[in-house]
Amino acid sequence: MRIYARTVRALEQLSASLGITLLRISIGLIYVWFGAPKFVPGLSPAESLAADTTERLTFGLLSGGTASVLTGALETAIGLLLISGHALAPTLLLQLAHMAGTFTPLLLFPDRTWETYGICTLEGQYILKNLVLVAASLVIIGHSRNRPQPPPPPEDPPPCARDSAYDAGDWPWTAREQPAHAHARGPDTPPDDRNTP
């Protein structure tokens, strides 16, 4: 039990310190892994479905190899940005928009994505696994929003703040108790209450 407890504690510490970073990088690697093969015709097993979906969503403006290459370029760019961690917020929003598009074949091409009611084809399973990527992206977004911000640097007090304790109303001694050096302060010296009219 002691070994088990230590193992669990070590995993908790690792997850707390590196979990979100590893999650972000792993999503980026998946995007690059799926996007890069679309640059080479016939290399990606999802090339045909991706091209047909892009053609349908763009109303025929993009089709065939052009649609596949542009889809691959988008996925690769998202993956590289996630791996680098730069522009994280817009990248995650773009990734979620892309994820929304990847689910459309379930409705646009039911004959290719469903065997029967509730049973997916291999291409349908390829699409449904994106639910995990969506959930992971939401976790990263939530973590980045709740990340504690460093405290602001302390502001320098205004020049008059240092002498605020020595205003006439807050003078720490009475006129009779004033030391000799207090009269050398010039215009800042409080008035002597014995000579004040």
pLDDT at 64 over 90: no
Q: What is the model's pLDDT at position 15?
A: 82
Tokens 């995007």 belong to which residue?
Answer: 31
Query: Poorest-confidence range of 36-50, 93-107, 160-174?
Result: 160-174
Query: Computed from CA positions of residues 97, 102, 103, 104, in that sequence, does the dihedral angle turn out positive or negative?
Result: positive
Full domain range(s) for residue 66: 2-146
Q: Is residue 156 part of a domain?
A: no
The number of distinct structural domains making up the chain is 2
Query: Computed from CA positions of residues 24, 58, 112, 44, in that sequence, does the dihedral angle turn out positive or negative?
Result: negative
Please name which of 141, 59, 57 lies closest in space to residue 102, comparing C-alpha atoms: 57
Q: What is the model's pLDDT at position 159?
A: 57
pLDDT in tens, 125-155: 989 999 999 999 999 998 876 555 556 666 6
Q: How many whole angstroms from its chain centre is CA 9?
A: 26
State the angle between helix axes of 2-35 and 130-146 in degrees (0 to 180), rounded to the nearest 10: 110
pLDDT at 166 over 50: no
Q: What is the model's pLDDT at position 12?
A: 85
Q: Are 133 and 98 in contact (CB under 8 A)?
A: no
Q: What is the model's pLDDT at position 173?
A: 47
Over the chain, what is the mean pLDDT? Answer: 80
pLDDT at 101 over 50: yes
Please name which of 137, 136, 138, 104 lies closest in space to residue 123, comparing C-alpha atoms: 104
Q: Is residue 179 part of a domain?
A: yes
Neighbours of 43 (CB within 10 A): 12
Q: Are residues 93 and 38 in the same domain?
A: yes
Q: What is the model's pLDDT at position 41?
A: 86
Q: Is residue 71 part of a domain?
A: yes
Q: Are residues 75 and 9 in the same domain?
A: yes
Q: What is the model's pLDDT at position 171?
A: 46
